């Protein structure tokens, strides 16, 4: 490499799917900031930055190509004096490519088409795009830069291809969703590419919530010797400079937060973006005095500001006074609006109306579900009248085994903790209390209960969460068979029961609201199981 130093800016942007005009505005602002404040030679934006990721079938709208074209024209006009890498869908000869274009002073100087189209997990690239097959190189300050897109860096071939074509440095633009352990996984992947090619790599990712995924950013730069030159703060937008001086990359590193802090901030990010971008004035939460609703209320208050959150206590005859007290204490500690709407009369009206139909039948789960549904009706009425979205409080352990009432506590628009196992819910609650005490200690330590009949505990019908959660992880995330999970040391009867519950509750999950993926296999877009299916130990 020659010796002229370069400043390369990574634009870790929070893009809005479909809002090409707004995204172009953000890209222009990032480019101007990079040029004027960071004195950068180049600014790289995330994968498909013009339209956001994933646009899904928006790509099929007949009006979209013209909107993309107008966006590119605006970038060509408004971004001058800096080289810009932007991601966009490229419509050509009846096909769509997931492309990255390099713009400089009013011209498109290079084009790349993503070669490896992920079609697993949450990704569906092959549904829409045709793959490219050529490397893309462009010159900057006397150096040859190789460009690739997201999944391309997870395989050896595109980086090797760019190196073979003469690249001296690689830039990879991404829309890479968060999951637990993803940052370390990315670093291992980038390490491998650096080791294979001997080239430094700049990696730029987006941030923000997008329905069922949330992007953490985690943009970074690795030197040719594999050392980390730059790591962007997680979950925040920013335009970050990486300097190339004497052939060596230099940038700022971040302090690594704890796993709980990363997940919590991610849930906050996801909740804020969902609520704001769908135009809600705020959020409503049924506050039971239990840990799930307490955590969701804290996330909502941190995401939206306390003044936009409304906690509603809806006691029944089975609700302990302690639970009502705790719900109120949580609301006070968070500073959110708090109301009490007892469900006794609504529940009574339902049971009276049903009395004749139910004559001769003993009370059972039906009446328990009616309590949960009475609460759902009240929360949805408040939502209809005042406009706030109802946040559903179910966690992954419950959603996995169907331990939630359809049209009851499952009702709502967004489910912030739906991909968090109950054991993680406890860790997140403890973490949140280290910032300021908002969840009373006894809410964290007392045994969880749905409070739908006297003295009810979750452990009456479910194995302890310390057992349930690892069994679920093996069954749901790793797709392990029942014999394999038993061989891991779990009780066969427990494993069979849990697997049966997971299988039988598929229909419920299909009707559940969306929420952010944080594990390696989230229910919803990522784990697509048939509802109507007959299968056993597999």
Ligand X SMILES: Nc1ncnc2c1ncn2[C@@H]1O[C@H](COP(=O)(O)OP(=O)(O)OP(=O)(O)O)[C@@H](O)[C@H]1O
Ligand Y SMILES: Nc1ncnc2c1ncn2[C@@H]1O[C@H](COP(=O)(O)OP(=O)(O)OC[C@H]2O[C@@H]([n+]3cccc(C(=O)O)c3)[C@H](O)[C@@H]2O)[C@@H](O)[C@H]1O
Annotated binding site for L-glutamine: 120, 176, 182
Which one of 98, 369, 383, 388 is in contact with ligand Y (CB under 6 A)? 369
Omega of the bond prior to 350 within 30 degrees of 0, cis? no
The 3-state DSSP class for residue 188 equals helix
Of the candidates 222, 207, 230, 216, the one whose C-alpha atom is nearest the C-alpha of residue 11 is 207
Which residues from 224-253 bind ligand Y, rule CB under 6 A?
Answer: none
- How far, in Å, CA of 159 to CA of 177, rounded? 21
Strand partners, 209: 214
Least distance from C-beta 114 to ligand Y, angstroms?
Answer: 39
Report residue 171 CA to chain centroid gap: 24
Residue 112 binds which entry of ligand GLN, ligand Y, ligand X, none, with Cβ cut-offs from 5 to 8 Å by kind?
none
The 3-state DSSP class for residue 70 equals helix
Output the six-digit token pair for 523: 């229910």
Beta-carbon contacts of residue 321 (< 8 Å; ≥ 6 apart): none
Output the six-digit token pair for 435: 């910032």
Which residues from 431-460 bind ligand X, rule CB under 6 A?
Answer: 448, 450-451
Least distance from C-beta 156 to ligand GLN, angstroms?
Answer: 14
Q: Does residue 151 touch ligand GLN according to CB under 6 A?
A: yes
Q: Which residue is nearest to ligand Y (CB)?
A: 450
Are the C-beta atoms of residues 252 and 45 closer than 8 Å to each other?
no
Q: Does residue 154 touch ligand GLN according to CB under 6 A?
A: yes
Q: Does residue 373 touch ligand X according to CB under 6 A?
A: no
Strand partners, 309: 283
Of 337 and 496, nearer to ligand X (C-beta) is 337
Residue 451 binds which entry of ligand X, ligand GLN, ligand Y, none, with Cβ cut-offs from 5 to 8 Å by kind?
ligand X
Q: Does residue 372 touch ligand Y according to CB under 6 A?
A: yes
Q: Which residue is nearest to ligand X (CB)?
A: 290
DSSP 8-class letter at 308 = G
Write the DSSP assignment of 112-129 as a string of letters: EE------STT--HHHH-
Residue 376 binds which entry of ligand X, ligand Y, ligand GLN, none, with Cβ cut-offs from 5 to 8 Å by kind?
none
Write each residue from 404 to 423 as x if it is in contact with ligand Y (CB under 6 A), else as -, in one continuous string: xxx-xx--------------
Q: Does residue 336 touch ligand X according to CB under 6 A?
A: no
Which residues from 440-459 bind ligand Y, rule CB under 6 A?
Answer: 450, 458
Least distance from C-beta 425 to ligand X, angstroms?
Answer: 8
Of 448 and 463, nearer to ligand X (C-beta) is 448
Rg (the chain; Cα; Å): 26
List Cα–Cα distances, 481 to 402, 473, 484, 519, 533, in angstroms: 20, 12, 5, 19, 16
Are the C-beta atoms of residues 117 and 98 closer than 8 Å to each other?
yes
Quick one: which segment of 151-159, 380-388, 403-411, 475-483 binds ligand Y (CB under 6 A)?
403-411
Quick one: which segment of 31-39, 81-89, 193-201, 367-375 binds ligand Y (CB under 6 A)?
367-375
Residue 151 binds which entry of ligand Y, ligand GLN, ligand X, none, with Cβ cut-offs from 5 to 8 Å by kind?
ligand GLN
Output the six-digit token pair for 441: 């200690």
Least distance from C-beta 113 to ligand GLN, angstroms?
Answer: 13
- How far, in Å, CA of 502 to CA of 80, rounded? 55
- How far, in Å, CA of 446 to CA of 336, rounded? 24
Q: Does residue 402 touch ligand Y according to CB under 6 A?
A: yes
Of the candidates 411, 423, 414, 378, the one whose C-alpha atom is nearest the C-alpha of residue 296 is 414
Beta-carbon contacts of residue 344 (< 8 Å; ≥ 6 apart): 315, 316, 317
Quick one: which segment of 150-158, 424-432, 494-502, 516-524 binds ligand GLN (CB under 6 A)?
150-158
Write the DSSP assignment of 244-269 as a string of letters: EETTEEE----PPPPHHHHHHHHHHH
Quick one: which segment of 174-182, 334-342, 352-360, 462-470 binds ligand GLN (CB under 6 A)?
174-182
Q: Does residue 96 touch ligand GLN according to CB under 6 A?
A: no
DSSP 8-class letter at 136 = -
Q: Does residue 401 touch ligand X according to CB under 6 A?
A: no
Residue 286 binds which entry of ligand X, ligand Y, ligand GLN, none, with Cβ cut-offs from 5 to 8 Å by kind?
ligand X
The half-sphere exposure of 326 on its side-chain side, counting CA atoms within 13 A, is: 24
Least distance from C-beta 330 to ligand X, angstroms?
Answer: 10
Quick one: which segment of 85-93, 148-156, 219-227, 307-315 binds ligand GLN (CB under 6 A)?
148-156
Can you tell me which residue has the tokens 């056993």? Answer: 536
H helices present in 251-364, as ranges:
259-277, 291-304, 321-334, 344-354
Least distance from C-beta 150 to ligand GLN, angstroms?
Answer: 3
Would you tell me which residues interact with ligand X (CB under 6 A)? 286-288, 290-293, 312-315, 319, 375, 393, 398, 409, 448, 450-451
Would you tell me which residues interact with ligand Y (CB under 6 A)? 365, 368-369, 372, 398, 402-406, 408-409, 450, 458, 507, 531
Would you tell me which residues interact with ligand GLN (CB under 6 A)? 47, 118, 123, 150-151, 154, 174-177
């Amino acid at each position: 490499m020659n010796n002229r130093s370069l400043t390369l800016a990574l634009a870790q942007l929070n893009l809005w799917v479909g809002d090409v005009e707004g995204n172009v505005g953000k890209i222009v602002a990032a480019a101007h900031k990079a040029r004027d404040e960071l004195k950068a030679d180049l600014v790289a934006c995330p994968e498909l930055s013009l339209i956001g990721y994933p646009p899904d079938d928006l790509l099929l709208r007949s009006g979209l190509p013209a909107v993309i074209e107008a966006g590119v024209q605006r970038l060509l006009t408004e971004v001058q004096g800096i080289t810009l890498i932007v991601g966009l869908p490229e419509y050509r000869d009846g096909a769509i490519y997931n492309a990255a274009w390099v713009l400089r002073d009013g011209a498109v100087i290079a084009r790349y088409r993503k070669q490896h189209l992920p079609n697993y997990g949450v990704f569906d690239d092959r549904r829409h795009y045709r793959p490219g097959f050529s490397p893309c190189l462009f010159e900057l300050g006397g150096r040859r830069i190789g460009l690739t897109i997201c999944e391309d860096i997870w395989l050896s071939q595109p980086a090797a291809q760019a190196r073979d074509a003469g690249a001296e440095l690689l830039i990879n633009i991404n829309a890479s969703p968060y999951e637990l352990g993803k940052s370390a996984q990315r670093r291992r992947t980038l390490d491998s590419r650096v080791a294979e090619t001997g080239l430094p790599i700049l990696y730029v990712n987006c941030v923000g919530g997008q329905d069922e995924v949330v992007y953490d950013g985690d943009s970074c730069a690795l030197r040719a010797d594999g050392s980390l030159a730059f790591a962007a703060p997680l979950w925040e937008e920013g335009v970050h400079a990486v300097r190339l001086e004497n052939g060596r990359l230099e940038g700022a590193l971040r302090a690594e937060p704890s796993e709980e802090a990363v997940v919590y901030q991610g849930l906050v990010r996801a909740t804020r973006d969902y609520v704001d971008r769908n135009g809600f004035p705020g959020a409503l939460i049924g506050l039971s005095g239990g840990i799930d609703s307490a955590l969701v209320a804290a996330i909502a208050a941190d995401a939206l500001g306390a003044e936009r959150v409304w906690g509603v206590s809806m006691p029944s005859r089975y609700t302990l006074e302690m639970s009502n007290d705790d719900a109120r204490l949580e609301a006070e500690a968070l500073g959110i609006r708090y109301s009490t709407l007892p469900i006794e009369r609504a529940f009574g009206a339902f049971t009276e109306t049903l009395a004749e139909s139910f004559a001769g039948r003993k009370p059972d789960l039906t009446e328990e579900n009616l309590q949960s549904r009475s609460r759902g009706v009240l929360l949805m009425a408040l939502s209809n009248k005042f406009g706030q979205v109802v946040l559903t409080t179910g966690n992954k352990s419950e959603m996995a085994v169907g331990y939630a009432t359809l049209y009851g506590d499952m009702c709502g628009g967004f489910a912030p903790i739906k991909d968090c196992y109950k054991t993680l819910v406890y860790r997140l609650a403890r973490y949140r209390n280290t910032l300021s005490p908002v969840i009373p200690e006894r809410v964290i330590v007392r045994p969880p209960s749905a409070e739908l009949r006297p003295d009810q505990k979750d452990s009456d019908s479910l194995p302890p969460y310390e057992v349930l959660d690892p069994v679920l992880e093996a069954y749901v995330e790793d797709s392990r068979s029942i014999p394999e999970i038993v061989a891991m040391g779990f009780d066969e009867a427990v494993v069979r029961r849990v697997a049966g519950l997971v299988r039988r509750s598929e229909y419920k999950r299909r009707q559940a609201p969306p929420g952010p993926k944080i594990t390696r296999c989230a229910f919803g877009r990522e784990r697509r199981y048939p509802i109507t299916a007959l299968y056993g130990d597999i």
